[in-house]
Chains A and B, each alone.
Chain A
Amino acid sequence: MTDSSVVSITAVSKSFGRGTAAIRVLEDVSVEIGRREFFTLLGPSGCGKTTLLRLIAGFETADQGRIAIEGQDVTQTPPYHRPVNTVFQSYALFPHLTVEQNVGFALEEQRLPADKIRTRVGEALEMVRMQSFARRRPAELSGGQQQRVALARALAPRPKVLLLDEPLSALDLKLRKEMQIELKLLQAEAGITFLFVTHDQEEALTLSDRVAVMQGGRILQIGAPHDIYEAPTHRFVADFIGDINLIEAEALPGNTLQLAGGATLSVPHDARGKVTLAIRPERARIAAAGAGHLQARVVHTAYLGTALLHKLALADGGTFLLRQSNLDASPLAMGSSVGVSLPAENLRVLVQ
């Protein structure tokens, strides 16, 4: 555990069910989350994101491994004694309490004096710009407003870590974009570590300092959004985040890769046998027909405003996505034949 890490998860495993019916939901998960970090768990539905969050909150207990918060082992600590708070996906606001009573709930549990509670509730509501709704009940609020109250309620007791389980998924796109920015600002203002869960890769990349990509109960890669996007270490990560082209190839000795079509590339690698090459649509180059590493024909072009996204049919079967800037003088025409060159510095060699 490093000095600055707030949450430290070590070799945690979790199964649901017993005996032969047991399903492994988390497998040997280890993460260190730093102070004031906006850390995101990203992965497809059912990969165990919520389960990991619930383990940290204390709603589930790990079968194996250790969870520490601020250096304190909390593996066996009940949720009400952990210095973390959760923003639930369903908000879970108390329907019988007003907005201010909801926000003050945890402060009352901490037995703070009434005037102190009042000021802290006021501050929390101000942070999410909901002061004027203090006396309303949750049923009298819109979804976005409920979302803010849930945030204020979880922030009011000043947790060491705020856990957010897909807090924006119930909002419409416009509100969602607004809330994303607000969340980011809020985190900077409150100075609290955020552990955020989403299955929306764009959301993860925009908001996070670091992202952990999960699949099937394992963490595949942890890194800054830029690293995850530009330097995926797994085929799954490459495929899950953004558009990417995956090309099968054979690794030959001497830093040479041979494509199925016969073309060879010189790329530094230490792989052997079958590998997958990954390249982003904006990183491949257009070459003259007959030149480059791949031969293809334009079958579809999508106009994206700032760019064109061409769908190419490769000569040896398969498709390839190619992004062409709008600034390019000669846009590719539908049905035309092109060559595609794969700059070695833009290629990732994936073993899995």
Chain B
Amino acid sequence: MSLIEIRGLSKSFGKNVVLDNVDLDINEGEVVAIIGPSGTGKSTLLRSLNLLEKPEAGTVTIDGKTFDLTTKVSKEKLELRKQTEMVFQQFNLFKNRTALENVMEGLTVVKKEKKEEAKKQALFELERVGMGDRLGHYPRHLSGGQQQRVAIARALALKPKLLLMDEPTSALDPELVGEVLLTIKKIAKEGFTILLVTHEMDFVKSVANRIIFLENGKVVANGSPREIFDNPTSDRLKSFLRNINMLQSADDYSI
């Protein structure tokens, strides 16, 4: 049995079917990357898992506990949201709180931890992402890359069973992408289970255990980086890889 089991996840916006009965399993400690063309439902998939979107159907089982993604019971929603944490493209740090306070916030408010305890934990997480020397800095004092690292610390502090990352580097200036990718690589090595959307294909190749190719709301391909990049079987995947210049195999005629 996998740590995370998503079953029958469907979501439409009006007539636009964005996710069509998606099933997905994620094992403990796995880094699963979702790739696919723009507008294909990658963000919607992540956002549905912590109910920032309201799916029409679907369940997710996390560590043996099954949650109905269509639930209207706020207690169940909060319970589910505590299992996962999201790292956003735009960082979304609380701008009126310092780096330290941002990381402590969930610990004191949601987990009801004592201040000293929360502070200890927050310091540990900020050290882990290399931000231990910017505790009193507000988001406005930090570069995009530093903000994203604080946001990662904020998510890690809540000890999520699954970390959701939606294009964590695509709002960054090119020279700041590296530090964030390094941080993600580090926490992946430390054993966190991560579901990641990104356009950084080289990064995906080096850090993901498994890659999901999502197109038109369906999982079209699901395999190891090798299977996806070196031996793609699906024509749609091939044409996607060709479009982003990631197909190097012999059957690439499009030069």
Chain A bound to chain B: no
